Chain A
């Protein structure tokens, strides 16, 4: 589920905007750190910190997008890759300098700790909360993209930028909003997931491949696709780690490889996309 929340943001930027954004995990990391700082030192509650991270990172990403990313929308993938790897290094270094290289722990509020009895089984409360939040985000995004005029505009702009522009859609602003949303979601995912994925300055690089795989498997720009892909990979990872504790991930890579070759548009992507 954590994978989903982080990855869905990436799907928004990479899929909808066609930008290879390897720095996405960086935004997730920054979000996580912000939450740690906010809860530890500034005495904010966990939920308030989450909201803060979402908006702060979204705002921060807007600045970056306007100043830097927007120059590279039409550039080759190579430049986008370089640029975003560069950003990751900067973020990592900045965090190391500012906070320190050690792993950070997020203190969950009491009501999220412990176990909840669901009647048929007990489960960690926090995991349940994550599932609920993830589902809500998915529903929200899905409704947003598929059912509102704003979503329709974004999809139109991706499909045919010039056409959308000539029909009076401000593509630049639209992309800024989409980017902010994507990064904000990453921050949320980073914060929520820190408990499980850990949080340290190498976070963006370590999970980069995971995020990319989830997006690629789910199909670019498909919110529901990413949701199911994250679910699939999460479950697969879990199961494989139990049965093949040493080399579970190899299957995931192999599957991704085969899948991408057979269906470059992703498992849930449109045909011919």
Chain B
């Protein structure tokens, strides 16, 4: 086959859906029927996937290394929580929208300020922003419930039809799944657009991006804002699904855990968020309660190994294996 034509064709077709892209969704629906008693956990899992997906947009595609992504998750979670507890605004969909707007605004403002820096300084700044929000939530006890957070929230029916299922999380699970699917489509479209291509350019070579005349900072701020809004949606879903919000939504543990999930799955790959979240959370679910220390040790060892040997995560390992298999076939 003609090499240039193949390359051009592959580029022109890369955004098309492939059959295996249906698999995660089939699995998610199948899980709904197969594990009716685990849907609370499943809902958490789906929310985490969405959160990881939002991080993937900035970290994996735009190459912005942040330790403070939980800031936006928390912003969304508290927005929904505070609206419901103080204003009695408990319609779920508009609540999510509000969460996205608030988190997106915070992302926009902090992005405008922070994204002038990079590397270590940026890392520190994102960390500080998150810590700042955490402290603000801690202090504004009247609004946020301080250290204890806002417990016992209840929300209206989704679309006025489906009420939240406190015991088995059935409607929450499906609701979150649908939101995740919509957000995923947004991210997927972005990633394969020329905007997405431009973001990967920034990630791969900042100097050259300037030299081809790209408005680098504007691109980064836009990506950061969108990502923040998505993280806000994830946070909002968290509050709605569980009926509470507290300081852990804004914690370094959440931000670091998310980073681990994404890296574990493979960043800059869309489905890394899925694989990482499933692998991490299922293992955590199984191991962490029985052997918390072993779990921590395992995570530590895994991280070290990933950083040293498998920088593209589980999906990366899969890709390498596939390549080797294919190479063996043609040889």
**Do chains A and B make direct contact within the complex (CB under 8 angstroms)?**
yes
A68 lies within 8 A of B297 (CB): no
Asked whether B119 is an interface residue with its Cβ less than 8 Å from the other chain, the reply is yes
**Contact A257:B129 (CB < 8 A) given known A81-B65, A90-B301, A264-B121:** yes
B303 lies within 8 A of A85 (CB): yes
Asked whether B138 is an interface residue with its Cβ less than 8 Å from the other chain, the reply is yes
A72 lies within 8 A of B119 (CB): no
Asked whether A118 is an interface residue with its Cβ less than 8 Å from the other chain, the reply is no
Q: How many residues from A make CB contacts under 8 Å with B?
A: 44
Q: When chains A and B are docked, how far (Å) is the Cα of A91 from the Cα of B139?
A: 32
A249 lies within 8 A of B135 (CB): yes
Interface centre among A75, A82, A220, A249 (most CB of B within 10 A): A82
Q: When chains A and B are docked, how far (Å) is the Cα of A94 from the Cα of B294?
A: 9
What 0/1 pattern do residues 86 to 119 of B give for CB contact below 8 A with A? 0000000000000000000000000001101101
Query: How many A-B pairs fall under 8 Å by CB?
Result: 121
- Range of interface residues on chain B? 35 or more
Contacts of B113 in A (CB 8 A): 261
For residue A214, give the distance in angstroms from its CB to the closest CB of chain B: 11
A247 lies within 8 A of B139 (CB): yes
**Contact A82:B132 (CB < 8 A) given known A68-B308, A212-B124:** no
A78 lies within 8 A of B136 (CB): no
Asked whether A133 is an interface residue with its Cβ less than 8 Å from the other chain, the reply is no
Q: When chains A and B are docked, how far (Å) is the Cα of A250 from the Cα of B137?
A: 10
A86 lies within 8 A of B252 (CB): no
B296 lies within 8 A of A96 (CB): yes
Asked whether B30 is an interface residue with its Cβ less than 8 Å from the other chain, the reply is no
Contacts of A91 in B (CB 8 A): 300
For residue A260, give the distance in angstroms from its CB to the closest CB of chain B: 6
B128 lies within 8 A of A90 (CB): no
For residue B200, give the distance in angstroms from its CB to the closest CB of chain A: 15
Which A residues form the contact surface with B (CB < 8 A)? 14, 20, 68, 71-72, 75-83, 85-94, 96-97, 205, 208-209, 212-213, 216, 220, 246-247, 249-250, 253-254, 256-257, 260-261, 264
